[in-house]
Copies of this chain bind each other. A is one copy, B any other.
Amino acid sequence: MSTRRPAADPPSEAQAYLQIGEVADRTGVTQRTLRFYEEKGLLKPPSRLDGGFRLYSEDDVQRVERIKRLQTLLGFTLADIKEMVEAEEIKTQIRAEYRVDAEISERRAKLARATEVTERQVAMIDQKLAALQDMKAHLEQKLAQYQGWMQQLDEKAAVGARQ
């Protein structure tokens, strides 16, 4: 919880760049985890200060938060998540790397691939949603049953008190 020094002025643009410690503080993951994600290809290698310090963008922070949610809340493996973020990158790839007049068939192939991956993801999510809703139904049924038993106990207690 140390008050951290603000990051130095960015190389040229006036965007708010963050050093690894700040990103760690904001996202709740450790610096080790950030470097690890980079190693594993979950985060693109961030820009660096001249001395070698990593400089993260706000986009990076959001990416980290999404990764964490995918992992802890939804139980995806980092391999799964890597596939997902790669599929996401296709978007930027398509509109940045390839110029408007680039090979159309190539762009089409990339889009098809992205669509396919995304549809698989939706399918996985639907599976999980179904399982969760099933579980929730079971649990709520149990809760109702507990309530019923509790009432029975109340009645018994009342009878006992009256005797």
Q: List residues of A whose CB falls within 8 A of some B CB.
A: 69-70, 72-76, 88, 91, 94, 104, 107-108, 111, 114-115, 118-119, 121-122, 125-129, 131-133, 135-136, 139-140, 142-143, 145-147, 149-150, 153, 156-157, 160
Tell me the minimal C-beta distance from A89 to chain B in angstroms. 12
Q: Which of B76, B135, B150, B156 contacts A111 (CB 8 A)?
A: B150
* Residues of chain B within 8 A of A126, CB atoms compared: 136
The 3 closest A-B pairs by CB, nearest first: A75-B75, A73-B131, A115-B146
User: Please, could you name 11 A-B residue pairs with CB atoms under 8 Å apart, sorted by A?
Assistant: A75-B75, A94-B149, A104-B157, A104-B160, A108-B150, A108-B153, A125-B132, A126-B136, A128-B128, A129-B132, A129-B133
The answer to whether A136 and B125 touch (CB under 8 A), given A146-B114, A157-B104, is yes
Residue of B with least CB distance to A130: B73
* Residues of chain B within 8 A of A125, CB atoms compared: 132, 135-136, 139
Alpha-carbon distance A93/B119, docked complex (angstroms): 45
Alpha-carbon distance A115/B140, docked complex (angstroms): 10
Residue of B with least CB distance to A107: B153
Tell me the minimal C-beta distance from A102 to chain B in angstroms. 11
| Most-contacted residue by chain B among A72, A136, A157 (CB, 10 A) | A136
* Residues of chain B within 8 A of A107, CB atoms compared: 153
The answer to whether A74 and B153 touch (CB under 8 A), given A139-B121, A143-B122, is no
